[in-house]
């Protein structure tokens, strides 16, 4: 098979979608040496390409793996002209992308699109009118053209079926997981100097609660800020800070975050360290007292599994996708109730028995998911779709 994969998001300091495709592609290239992989990119400098090769470490010296860099000036040019032009000129059996399927893909190419979540349909008020209009045009068309839709959870599969009337046989669930090497026992033994260096690098306090993700409205950060304020006052935890890891300049930044911080007067207690390098993220998580994840809506929930892999107790919103990812290994709280969220913060921080139970259950829960297993499932999808293609001919 000739398998094309859109890897444009890798190396762009995005969050979930970059992590998913980085790990799936890396594991696929380790696992599968008989098929040919075409990894499609927008323009990258030589230095960016070298860094990308390092991140996809399995391709060093590997035959059957090629980068295809297309000189598109924007996403529209990529989907409407440059990629379709390539696919018409070259035989590609399977093309795997995320969300938006390119225009004019020849029928000989089987198309798979990865839909991580449909928050733009569940909470349209949280995105701009142009994005709503753009997605309302292109997502239905992409779903119709796709031969297979991959979702990261049963919940997202049900959501896609609900909003777009997609038959079950057209969808497959391939779970997300924690990156190889992220687990505590797989990491090198960290001495205090390494942890101190990471703490200094990101100016982390001695005691803090941690959130990692985008800072969009659906992430429900204002409620977390209110719960954190209640928690500090109630427990007299004056030295505990809240660290929000995310891009303040990112798309659809929730302006209520700054408004809530100002209203509560907790500007000195809330820290924004910016983007955390992937190799530093396990240590940052391990340094936290608690990991918090209050989202209204998620497609899966990789960050809670990452925290669990580091033995960090998790308090999360009680929503279907996070329940599916976290099992019974977190304290789950309705995402509309800041008082109950504060109660859970207090319980997870002050009760030794609760912390011990959450650590043990969390570590076991994180191990239930594997990128290697997910890559095997994805390869099976590629093989099945190509088998049907041969039968059709």
Is the predicted pLDDT of residue 57 greater than 80, yes or no?
Answer: no
Contacts of 333 (CB under 8 A, 6+ apart): 294, 315, 316, 317, 318, 340, 341, 343, 344
Looking at residue 71, its pLDDT comes to 85
Looking at residue 127, its pLDDT comes to 86
Is the predicted pLDDT of residue 393 greater than 60, yes or no?
Answer: no
Closest CA to 11 of 219, 243, 275, 252: 275
pTM of the model: 0.91
Q: What is the pLDDT confidence band of residue 51, given thresholds at 50, 70 and 90?
A: confident
Contacts of 10 (CB under 8 A, 6+ apart): 18, 21, 22, 25, 52, 55, 56
SS3 36: strand
Kindly report, residue by residue over 88-103, the tens digit of the pLDDT.
999 999 999 999 999 9
Q: What is the mean predicted confidence (pLDDT) over 329-341?
A: 96
Of 17-31, 51-65, 242-256, minimum mean pLDDT range: 51-65
Looking at residue 372, its pLDDT comes to 95
Kindly report, residue by residue over 268-279, the tens digit of the pLDDT.
999 999 889 888
Is the predicted pLDDT of residue 5 greater than 80, yes or no?
Answer: yes
Buried b (16+ CB within 10 A) or exposed e, 181-201: ebbeeeeeeeeeeeeeebbee
Of 3-7, 60-64, 257-261, 332-336, minimum mean pLDDT range: 60-64
Kindly report, residue by residue over 272-319, the tens digit of the pLDDT.
998 898 889 999 999 999 999 999 999 999 999 999 999 999 999 999
The Cα–Cα gap between 5 and 130 comes to: 27
Looking at residue 179, its pLDDT comes to 85
- DSSP letter assigned to residue 12: S
Q: Classify residue 363 as left (phi > 0), alpha (psi -120 to 50) or beta.
A: alpha
Is the predicted pLDDT of residue 190 greater than 90, yes or no?
Answer: no
The Cα–Cα gap between 96 and 143 comes to: 13
Specify the residue for token string 């998911």: 369
Kindly report, residue by residue over 341-355, the tens digit of the pLDDT.
999 999 999 899 999
CB atoms within 10 A of CB 331: 22
């Amino acid at each position: 098979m000739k398998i094309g994969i859109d890897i444009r998001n890798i190396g762009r300091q995005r969050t979930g979608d970059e992590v998913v495709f980085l790990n799936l592609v890396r594991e696929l290239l380790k696992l599968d040496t008989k098929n040919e992989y075409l990894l499609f990119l927008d323009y990258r400098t030589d230095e960016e390409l070298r860094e990308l090769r390092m991140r996809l470490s399995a391709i060093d010296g590997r035959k059957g793996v090629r980068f295809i860099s297309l000189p598109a000036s924007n996403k529209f040019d990529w989907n409407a002209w440059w990629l379709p032009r390539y696919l018409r000129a070259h035989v590609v059996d399977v093309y795997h992308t995320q969300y938006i399927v390119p225009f004019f893909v020849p029928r000989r190419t089987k198309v798979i699109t990865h839909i991580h979540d449909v928050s733009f349909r569940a909470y349209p008020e949280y995105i701009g009118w142009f994005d709503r209009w753009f997605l309302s045009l292109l997502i239905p068309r992409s779903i119709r053209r796709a031969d297979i839709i991959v979702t990261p959870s049963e919940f997202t599969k049900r959501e896609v079926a609900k909003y777009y009337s997609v038959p079950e046989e057209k969808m497959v669930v391939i779970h997300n997981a924690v990156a190889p090497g992220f687990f505590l026992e797989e990491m090198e033994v960290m001495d205090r100097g390494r942890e101190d260096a990471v703490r200094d690098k990101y100016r982390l306090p001695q005691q803090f609660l941690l959130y990692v993700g985008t800072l969009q409205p659906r992430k429900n950060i204002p409620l977390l800020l209110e719960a954190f304020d209640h928690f500090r006052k109630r427990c007299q935890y004056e030295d505990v800070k809240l660290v929000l890891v995310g891009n303040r300049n990112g798309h659809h930044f929730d302006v209520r975050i700054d408004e809530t911080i100002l209203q509560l007067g907790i500007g000195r207690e809330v820290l924004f360290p910016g983007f955390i390098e992937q190799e530093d993220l396990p240590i940052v998580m391990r340094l936290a007292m608690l990991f918090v994840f209050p989202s209204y809506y998620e497609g899966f929930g990789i960050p809670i599994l990452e925290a669990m892999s580091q033995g960090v107790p998790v308090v999360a919103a009680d929503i279907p996708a996070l329940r599916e990812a976290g099992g019974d290994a977190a304290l789950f709280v309705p995402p509309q109730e800041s008082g109950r969220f504060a109660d859970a913060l207090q319980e997870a921080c002050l009760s030794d028995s609760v912390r011990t139970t959450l650590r043990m259950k969390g570590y076991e829960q994180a191990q239930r998911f594997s990128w290697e297993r997910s890559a095997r499932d994805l390869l099976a999808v590629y093989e099945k779709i190509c088998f049907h293609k041969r039968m059709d001919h």
